[in-house]
Amino acid sequence: MSGEQVGLLVDGALFTLWLTLGGAAIGLVLAFLAGLARVSSSKVLRAIGFVYVEFFRGAAVLVLAFWFVYAMPMLGWQFEPVFAGMVALGLNIGAYAAEIVRGAIQSVPVNQYEAALAMNFSSWQRMRRVVLPQALVAMIPPFSNNIIELLKASAVVSVVSIPELAFNGQLIWSGNGQAAAVFGGLLVMYGALALIFTIIMRLLERRAARSVGRQPDPGWWTRLRRRSEVPA
């Protein structure tokens, strides 16, 4: 591959990274809003959360991206493709993650809620100070699956002409015909990106475990080092 082609792949990887981060940020906000709505005492909020989750869990990211880029302008809203891609990804992953938020909140033992009420916290304080910090620990591992899913789904939005990794890969391939080299390279790059996200999420997970006084599992690095310290 030429230097120019490698440059294209790097640019593509940056777009992919950008789409994933943007989609994750939008998805995270939506997940918390919808997840909290689903456990709220208000029927209306619960219904809104339910409709959002059910609708966008089923909505194909591909179709959402088309919708924002080609259909919305006809209704008078112009979306820039990268932003449209992020929104499409965020709406979809947010619906999955909302269920994680809800499940994690509901997994906090009811006696924590009761203790918080006995301390006379308001209902928002109970959520914010007692329940959510504990629920967060349970959310992080499934969130890290979500973010990998999001990374892979970002390839789909290349259809609205976002020059991300998969898009640029196809571009190079149509120029040089070297399928094995090009797509092999892409797999490695997606793998590397996934690894970076996994490592970051593992660090967050350990941090969250510590924040509730749990000793996090030692990571593989610590375990390896410990083993090497054992005297022969």
Partner 1 sequence: MEGTKEPMTEATSAAPVRAHDGNGEFIKFAEVSKRFGSNVVLDDLSFSVGAGERVTLIGPSGSGKTTILRMLMTLLRPDSGTISVNGEYLFHEERGGQLVTASESHIRRVRSKITMVFQQFNLFPNMRVLRNVTEAPVHVLGKPKDEAAERAKELLALVGLGEKLDAYPSQLSGGQQQRVAIARALAVDPDVLLLDEVTSALDPELAAEVLDVLRDIAKTTDVTMLLVTHAMKFARDVSHRVLMFNQGKIIEDRPPEEMFNEPRHERTQSFLRSVIDET
- Closest contact distance (angstroms) between CB of 123 and partner 1 is 8
Q: Are 201 and 143 spatial neighbours (Cβ–Cβ below 8 Å)?
A: yes
* Of the candidates 151, 215, 210, 220, the residue with the CA atom closest to the CA atom of residue 186: 151
Contacts of 93 (CB under 8 A, 6+ apart): 23, 24, 27, 31, 146, 147, 149, 150, 153
Neighbours of 211 (CB within 10 A): 12
For the segment 210-229, give every residue that binds partner 1 (CB under 8 A): 211-214
Span of 4-12, 64-72, 108-116, 153-161 interacting with partner 1 by CB under 8 A: 108-116
The burial of 215, by beta-carbon neighbours within 10 Å (0-12 exposed, 13-18 middle, 19 or more buried), is given as exposed
Is residue 75 involved in binding partner 1 (CB under 8 A)? Answer: no
Which tokens is 104 given? 């994690």
> Please, which residue, 13 or 135, has the CB nearer to partner 1?
135
For the segment 23-62, give every residue that binds partner 1 (CB under 8 A): none
Is residue 117 involved in binding partner 1 (CB under 8 A)? Answer: yes
First-last CA distance in the chain:
48
Write the binding mask 125 to 164 for partner 1: x where contact by CB under 8 A, - elsewhere: x---xx--xx------------------------------
> Please, which residue, 207 or 225, has the CB nearer to partner 1?
207
Binding stretches for partner 1 (CB under 8 A)? 111-112, 114-123, 125, 129-130, 133-134, 211-214
